[in-house]
Amino acid sequence: MAKPKKNCMQPVSLPMLPLRGLMVFPQMVLHFDVGRKKSVAALEQAMLGDQRIFLVAQRDMDVDNPDIDDIFHVGTIAAIKQVLKLPGDNIRVLVEGKSRAVLRAVTQEEPYFEGALDELIPQAVPASIEVDALLRTAHTYFEEYCKMSGRVSGETMQSVLEVEEPGQLADVIAANVLTKVEDKQQILEEFDDIARLEAVCAVLVRETELAGVEKKVQARVRKQIEQNQKDYFLREQIKAIQTELGDKDATDVEDLRERLEKTPMNDEARDKASRELERLSRMAPGSPEIGVSRTYVEWLLDLPWGKTTPDNLDLKRARRVLAEDHYGLDKVKERVIEYLAVCRIKNNMKGPVLCFVGPPGVGKTSIARSIARALGRKFVQMSLGGVRDEAEIRGHRRTYIGAIPGRIITSIKQAGTMNPVFLFDEIDKMASDVRGDPASAMLEVLDSAQNNAFRDHYLEAPFDLSGVMFITTANSVDTIPRPLLDRMELIEVSGYTEEEKLNIAKRHLLPDQIKEHGLAPRSVRMSDKVLRSLIQGYTREAGVRTLQRTIGKVVRKSAVAMLDGQLETVTVTQERLEEFLGAPRYHYEKAGKKPEIGVVNGLAYTVVGGDTLQIETTTMPGTGQLELTGSLGDVMKESARAAKSFVRAHAEEFGIDPEFYKKLDIHIHVPEGAVPKDGPSAGVTMTTALVSALTGIPVRQNVAMTGEITLRGRVLPIGGLKEKLLAAHRAGIDTVLIPKENLKDLEEVPENVRSAMKIVPAEDVHTVLETALCEKPALRPKAEPLAGTLPAMPEGQQMLHA
């Protein structure tokens, strides 16, 4: 803003009237309505004086009671020409702008504003060639603007072009061209006439360009509207003709078109649907392609574009729901609570991809339903067991007759929301053949960096799966391809302990079976002792499926007893349990009390939990052959050879004849012979059995062990420690040797099991032998090897697994 010279300013004191959304320039005549009390008072005071008033614009037109900070400091002194009272205490006033003024201070605020002003005395601009050129330029720019925009009438344009004074011309153009109060105020605050007119010329150039662009945009929009109206008119005519001919397909196309306009799908899907609808509308009635095209468009429209279920982020409620449905499974519940906590902090959290790995029947599938209930989401499930065709995942291409989308898109449509809990059951059971590899197709689905644009072969349009919470289940990760496994967060769900099964039976299984069979609550009663006998004698599993079926059988037998004896309740005793179910099917092998030579208690980890595994070793005169029986796998055979090599290398240290490998045949047998066994964790057990058989030193039968052995005698860590210790606890073993590196896994073992037995961490074989053998081998003279046979293991022994 150019500062006015002091000799051009004249101090005055006048009433002030703040204007909202309005600006008055010098030489400008206009009328406006006044309604605020202070404004009316200022107007009345001006009428009592020389009928001059200071008009100044507000910075914010929404402020009803402005103060000094809410108004600009440069305004216009105007002369009041006419005042007209309107109904409702409003006044219409006609004013003429006279001169610019600067507000120095507000001298009065009540009952009206009065300000101390510096009034600018207009000075004539000397004529010159530059001034004439500037005036001509301004006239030309204004005329171009009027022609381009069409907003200024011909009379107004002519009157403006007749103005020859630079300052007045700038003010008149600004009043007719500018629309924003801020832009007008910027021109008003420029006191130098030449500079003001130059600024207005720059504004005219900008506004002319904008008017040209607006004209093009309006022409394009008008043409589009005309085309749409034409298309609509033609479609209505075609629709009327086809309706007269009895063709219902035309009506269907219009219905689909209306649904398409309301469906918030992405641009690519909308484009494909529009083109298919256009193609469908041009098909001849009765064409076989009509059904194919309509089905495709309906699939696109039926998907839940933009529909989501709001998550219930109440952590206390989620904990309560998960606890109601399942006992245990603490790792799974903790991960769900973590996800909910993060969602409360970050709204656009991507759905996790979880993989629950564990034996059958431990609740992997049912906990997924509980997670959906805890989150407040829809639940869909897809079983991958035996899936061989990639089209099951991605769908068939539309070139095939009878093509449909894959089961993922089908399930999303079934859920009706874009963020369900999606369970892929038995992901480790997928297979591949000539029809493709479904595991490879799952890579895109379960990759959070790619699944926001999942493409089904049938739809051929991206669909966002990033909001879906994917959960997969597996019994083993061995058969899952490594790239697919890398995309999932593994959560191990181990088998239940006997104490956990007891609580599950009391809290869930027994009440559920009573309700399922239509009996009154608590009409069948079983004590903890009877339930424990049922678990031990009639089930052998890591989960609780067999336990559920067995309890159901007991409830049915109880229902028969209630009807036969006219009873309201049945209490199942130990005797009645055997009456209902027969003699117990399983007996857990209890460890022998008397030390034996060449017999060592090993620990096995099977798909149904842990169990004890007796390894028997005997020697006989021969040529040094090693005989291995018991359906042993390659890894277990290698463990036996490694054990023999270790003993041979340390024969003198153990008091064994160094030439034993030439004179004696060694036979290692692992009952039961019909059950396949494999894994490296029996290495220390075979080594101990060999040393005992070759030295004649008995092995304590209250000791069990597990661990992989190396040729240097180191004991390496193993898996399934929790299940193995539970099996040792059931067998009455009070001392267990484990690899030292497995100490970190003890926190997963129940406290009652840890406190009931002595756990010895072993770093090498020497620690194992010192604990398991009744004597130290080095302190005993060489004894003749003993041979013998021992009873076989109980039925049900499963594969030994590391």
CB distance 470 to 351 below 8 Å: yes
Rounded to an integer, what distance in angstroms lies between the CA atom of residue 116 and that of residue 118?
A: 7
Closest-CA residue to 784 (of 556, 583, 567, 619): 619
Contact partners, residue 654, CB within 8 Å, separation at least 6: 647, 691, 694, 695, 769, 777, 778
Rounded to an integer, what distance in angstroms lies between the CA atom of residue 438 and that of residue 466?
A: 20
- Per-residue CA distances from 97 to 178, 179, 606 (Å): 17, 18, 99
| The two structure tokens encoding residue 477 | 């990760």
CB distance 437 to 390 below 8 Å: yes
Peptide bond into 672 cis (omega under 30): yes
Peptide bond into 111 cis (omega under 30): yes
Distance of CA 304 to the CA centre of its chain: 17
The residue ranges of DSSP E strands in 109-150, in sequence order, are 113-120
Is residue 205 helix, strand or coil?
helix
Is residue 761 helix, strand or coil?
strand
| The two structure tokens encoding residue 623 | 């040529």
| The two structure tokens encoding residue 145 | 């603007």
The residue ranges of DSSP E strands in 310-426, in sequence order, are 353-357, 379-383, 421-425
Cα within 13 Å of Cα(495), Cβ side = 27
Distance of CA 651 to the CA centre of its chain: 60
Rounded to an integer, what distance in angstroms lies between the CA atom of residue 337 and that of residue 319?
A: 7
Looking up tokens 């200071």 gives: 54
Distance of CA 83 to the CA centre of its chain: 68
Contact partners, residue 631, CB within 8 Å, separation at least 6: 673, 674, 675, 676, 677
Which sequence positions are flagged as catalytic?
681, 724
Using only the alpha carbons of the chain, give its radius of gyration: 46
Is residue 180 helix, strand or coil?
coil
SS3 sequence of 299-316: HHHHCCCCCCCCCCCCHH
CB distance 698 to 597 below 8 Å: yes
Per-residue DSSP letters for 18-83?
A: EESS----TT-EEEEEE-SHHHHHHHHHHHHTTSEEEEEEBS-TT-SS--GGGB-SEEEEEEEEEE
Contact partners, residue 616, CB within 8 Å, separation at least 6: 598, 599, 668, 669, 670, 671, 689, 788, 789, 790
Contact partners, residue 298, CB within 8 Å, separation at least 6: 256
| The two structure tokens encoding residue 201 | 């010329």
Strands laid side by side in the 421-425 sheet: 379-383, 421-425, 469-474, 353-357, 489-492
Rounded to an integer, what distance in angstroms lies between the CA atom of residue 122 and that of residue 79?
A: 16
